[in-house]
């Protein structure tokens, strides 16, 4: 044990030296002194703690500090805060002690991280969503808190193996749902990609390892291609006295997985599995000129695709990202994406926030991250919006790309792609948005829901008599506009709800029904309303009458009797009934493999053999989803406490319905070949089939009855071998 302790201390000292060596920013003597003090404090505070993997706990804060120093590029203050980030929460060191040693600034960051850590342990979904909002408030309070939290999450994901499988899926889902999008929005592209890949490793391991293996197999071929592509243009770039380096960047596993699923194509069909980067030296004044010069040299040799040109140098993204992206026809007639960046632009792309502010020059106007944070603050402080709606709206806007439009005075404004005329009004000012009567785009009147595109010039026509309606929520895309519309609608709703509450009190008294919280809650559920506010509002506008109230009273009595009978019946399931259940394909739940009632979710249509999980709904019992379902990450992240561990138990009796979509080039006798193959396959019955041919291209849909996933997968492989069939996709 003494030897182990000596080894561990030696490793800890080695990690500390590496931390100083890899720091992105140059460290002064004072900086090193501060980091050493934070390091010693962290080692002392965590001296008796170990992680689930068995290693000393202090390795975790050191690893987080290394990510903060190298991948995010923060300063000594943040490196010190990262080393201390778990000290107040997990050790005997108090907030006051840390403040006495390190001062107010570092203590404020550590306290912010402690609050986030406590919030993330909440299990109730509404609290989780509300706490997510509170967590994001730290962005404006001190953005360093969220940056260190992202580093903390990245290291947790890198060491997730020691957790139980349930914890792995919950943490990975939360990472994909919240942390990766925030890293993307702040401009931490490398961190974002690693978070996504690690998230996929635990949520869809089969897909992850399959793509990873294929990337590794094609690496040598890819390296040769990049070398061949670069050879010709390198000579010309050198002749023009440009100092540069060219390298290849493989697409992340997660982004390849997205293309496979979204475009319904195979790995081999993805043409842009990597991008080529040209990073050049330049003084600030010549950056743009040299970028277009390099563009000109490349397009002298390779034909560009004009539709795939992205100029983020003239109009940088709102998180500060700058580059020129072009797609050209490279050697072997393959499409290749080329990213042209100066060294400064590359640093911003790699390090995001930190580099963005390090390179900020003179009185240059700041319209990147700071402007986004200011817009975000308004949305975050809108306590009226439903927390879950907020999370969904916020996520929608995190990943959105941008368009650039003009005010009537010619001022340039950036909006999320897909934004409408009404979104534009709210982006100018909330008061203008709420009073919008009409909109002109390029001088022509358009509906409020009109989707804008880059280059549009927009004029808002306002009226003091205009009030927002609930339809407006369908007209907007941005979270800011939705939040402001909801707030305005709720203000009006509250007034009517107050009147409705008194009306309901009188009506229930006449019907001799007690007016209390339980009655209000039960009546709300009976009418399928989410809140008491909704109920009072509907009464206030005359949508709830005495007939409905009488029906509610009768229903309530019947419901009580029904559940009494149901409980008695469940307790009396005899042995023969259990045998009947077990003879059929059945899903069992939890470690005890309990048999419970369930239904299959229509969004993913799981069949025996699929990896599945159960989700406890509010009104429809347990729903079964595939682990690869498009809704899986959201459900597992937001509603972890309602997820049930589930699996199929094998059977050879019952059949399940599955649908295949087939497309390709129409050949004589093709349909006959398909039906013959299916008919000759054991354990498969055709339930429904239709084919349609347009200009020699056919599309077909076949609904089958199969027993297991393996049988279906085997059929898909055999169908793909038929000459003329291009794609076979299971719905």
Domains of the chain: residue spans and CATH: 2-162 (1.10.3210.10), 213-358 (3.30.460.10), 575-649 (no CATH), 656-730 (3.30.70.260)
pLDDT of 124: 46
**Which tokens sit at 509?**
């008294």
Pick from 200, 119, 127, 121: which is nearest to 391 by CA? 127
Q: What is the pLDDT of residue 536?
A: 86
101 pLDDT band, cuts 50/70/90, is: very high
Rounded distance between C-alpha atoms, residue 286 and residue 97, angstroms = 51
pLDDT at 131 over 80: no
Sign of CA dihedral 385, 388, 394, 397: negative
More confident residue, 11 or 390: 11
For helices 343-351 and 189-203, angle between their N-to-C axes, nearest 10 degrees: 40
pLDDT tens-digit series, residues 538-596: 888 878 877 887 777 676 555 555 445 544 444 444 443 344 334 346 788 887 777 78
| pLDDT at res. 293 | 95
pLDDT in tens, 691-717: 888 777 888 888 888 777 778 888 888
With contact defined as beta carbons under 8 Å apart, do 615 and 622 qualify? yes
Instruction: Calculate the average pLDDT of the chain.
Output: 80
**Whether the Cβ atoms of residue 183 and residue 149 lie closer than 8 Å to each other:** no
Report which of residues 591 and 385 the model is more confident about. Answer: 591
Q: How confident is the model at residue 33 (pLDDT cuts 50, 70, 90)?
A: very high
pLDDT the model gives residue 324: 95
Read off the tokens for 8. 């561990």
How much of the chain, in percent, has pLDDT values that exceed 70? 82
User: H/E/C letters for each residue in 146-208?
Assistant: HHHHHHHHHHHHHCHHHCCHHHHHHHHHHHHHHHHHHHHHHCCHHHHHHHHHHHHHHHCHHHH
**241-267 pLDDT, tens per residue?**
999 999 888 889 999 998 888 888 888
Nearest to 532 by CA among 488, 563, 497, 482: 497
pLDDT tens track for 150-186:
899 999 999 998 888 888 888 888 888 878 887 887 7
The string of pLDDT tens digits covering residues 390-423 is 555 555 555 556 777 888 887 777 787 888 999 9
Among 7-21, 273-287, 528-542, 672-686, the range with the most confident prediction by mean pLDDT is 273-287
| Per-residue pLDDT tens over the stretch 338-354 | 999 999 898 888 776 55
State yes or no: is 89 an active-site residue.
yes
pLDDT of 618 reads 75
428 with 438: CB under 8 angstroms?
no
Comparing C-alpha atoms, which of 321, 352, 356 is closest to residue 183? 352
Euclidean distance between CA atoms 324 and 294, whole angstroms: 10
DSSP string, 62-110: HHHHHHHHHTS---HHHHHHHHTTTHHHHSS--HHHHHHHH-HHHHHHH
CA distances from 280 to 275, 334, 377, 475, 697 (A): 16, 25, 37, 44, 47
3-state secondary structure of 16: helix
Contact partners, residue 413, CB within 8 Å, separation at least 6: 404, 405, 406, 407, 424, 427, 428
Q: What are the strands, taking DSSP E only, across 577-620? A: 586-589, 594-595, 598-600, 612-616
Phi then psi dihedrals of residue 666, to 5 deg? -70, 120
Question: Of the listed 8, 18, 55, 89, which one is catalytic?
Answer: 89
**What are the helix (H) ranges across 369-478?**
369-380, 387-398, 421-428, 430-434, 472-475
143 pLDDT above the threshold of 80: no
Six-digit token string for 363: 């009185």
Instruction: Return phi, psi of residue 460, to 5°.
Output: -100, 130
Mean pLDDT of 467-472: 84
Confidence category of residue 24, pLDDT binned at 50, 70, 90? low
**Beta pairing, strands 622-626 & 598-600:** parallel
List, for residues 477-506, the tens digit of each pLDDT value. Answer: 887 788 888 888 877 788 788 888 888 888
Catalytic residue selected from 15, 18, 55, 90:
90
Q: What's the confidence (pLDDT) of residue 374?
A: 54
- Residue with tokens 């003091």, as numbered in its chain: 464
Residue 56 pLDDT exceeds 60: yes
| Per-residue pLDDT, 4 | 67
């Amino acid at each position: 044990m003494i030897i182990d302790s000596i080894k561990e201390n030696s490793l800890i000292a080695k990690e500390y030296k590496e931390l100083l060596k890899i720091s992105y920013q140059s460290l002064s003597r004072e900086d090193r002194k501060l980091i050493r003090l934070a390091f010693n404090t962290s080692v002392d505070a965590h001296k008796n703690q170990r992680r689930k993997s068995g290693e000393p706990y202090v390795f975790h804060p050191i690893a987080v500090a290394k990510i903060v120093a190298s991948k995010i590029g923060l300063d000594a203050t943040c490196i010190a805060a990262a080393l201390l980030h778990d000290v107040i929460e997990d050790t005997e060191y108090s907030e006051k002690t840390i403040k006495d040693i390190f001062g107010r600034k570092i203590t404020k960051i550590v306290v912010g991280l402690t609050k986030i850590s406590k919030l993330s342990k909440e299990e109730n979904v509404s609290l989780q969503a509300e706490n997510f909002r509170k967590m994001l408030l730290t962005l404006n309070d001190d953005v360093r808190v969220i940056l260190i939290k992202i580093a903390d999450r990245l290291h947790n994901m890198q060491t997730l193996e020691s957790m139980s499988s349930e914890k792995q899926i919950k943490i990975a889902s939360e990472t994909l749902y919240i942390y990766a999008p925030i890293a993307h929005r702040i401009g931490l592209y490398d961190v974002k990609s690693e978070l996504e890949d690690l998230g996929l490793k635990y949520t869809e391991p089969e897909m992850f390892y399959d793509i990873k293996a294929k990337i590794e197999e094609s690496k040598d071929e890819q390296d040769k291609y990049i070398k061949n592509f670069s050879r010709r243009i390198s000579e010309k770039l050198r002749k023009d006295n440009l100092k540069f380096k060219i390298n290849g960047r493989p697409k992340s596993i997660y982004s390849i997985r997205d293309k496979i699923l979204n475009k319904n194509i195979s790995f081999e069909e993805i043409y842009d599995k990597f991008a080529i980067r040209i990073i050049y030296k330049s003084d600030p004044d010549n950056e743009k000129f040299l970028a277009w010069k390099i563009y000109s040299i490349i397009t002298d040799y390779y034909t560009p695709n004009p539709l795939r040109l992205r100029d983020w140098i003239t109009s940088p993204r709102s998180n500060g990202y700058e580059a020129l992206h072009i797609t050209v026809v490279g050697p072997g007639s393959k499409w290749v994406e080329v990213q042209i960046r100066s060294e400064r632009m590359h640093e911003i792309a790699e390090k995001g926030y930190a580099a963005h502010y390090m390179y900020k020059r003179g009185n240059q106007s700041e319209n990147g991250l700071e402007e986004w944070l200011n817009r975000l603050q308004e949305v975050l402080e809108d306590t009226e919006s439903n927390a879950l709606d907020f999370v969904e709206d916020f996520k929608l806007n995190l990943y959105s790309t941008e368009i650039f439009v003009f005010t009537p005075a010619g001022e340039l404004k950036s909006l999320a792609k897909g934004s409408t005329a009404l979104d534009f009004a709210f982006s100018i000012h909330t008061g203008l948005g709420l009073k919008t009567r009409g909109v002109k785009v390029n001088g022509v009147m358009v509906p409020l829901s009109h989707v804008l595109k880059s280059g549009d010039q927009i004029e808002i026509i306002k009226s003091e008599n205009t009030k927002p309606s609930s339809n407006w929520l369908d007209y907007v895309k941005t979270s800011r506009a939705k939040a402001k519309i909801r707030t305005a609608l709720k203000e009006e709703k509250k007034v009517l709800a107050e009147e409705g509450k008194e009306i309901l009190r009188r009506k229930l008294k006449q019907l001799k029904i007690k007016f209390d919280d339980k009655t209000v809650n039960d009546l709300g559920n009976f009418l399928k309303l989410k809140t008491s506010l909704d109920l009072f509002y509907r009464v206030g506008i005359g949508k709830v009458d005495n007939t409905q109230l009488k029906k509610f009273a009768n229903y309530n009595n019947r419901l009580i009797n029904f559940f009494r009978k149901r409980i008695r019946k469940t307790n009396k399931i005899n042995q023969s009934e259990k045998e009947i259940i077990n003879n059929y394909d059945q899903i069992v739940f939890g470690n005890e493999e309990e048999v419970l009632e369930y239904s299959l979710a229509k969004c993913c249509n799981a069949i025996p053999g699929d990896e599945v999980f159960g989700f406890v709904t509010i009104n429809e019992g347990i729903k079964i989803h595939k682990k690869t379902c498009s809704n899986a990450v959201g459900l597992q992240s937001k509603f972890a406490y309602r997820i049930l561990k589930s699996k199929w138990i094998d059977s050879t009796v019952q059949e399940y319905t599955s649908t295949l979509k087939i497309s390709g080039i129409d050949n004589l006798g093709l349909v006959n070949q398909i039906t013959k193959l299916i008919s000759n396959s054991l354990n498969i019955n055709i339930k429904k089939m239709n084919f349609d041919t347009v200009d020699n291209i056919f599309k077909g849909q076949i609904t089958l009855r199969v027993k297991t996933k393996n049988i279906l997968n085997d059929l898909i492989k055999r169908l793909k071998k038929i000459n003329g069939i291009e794609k076979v996709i299971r719905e």
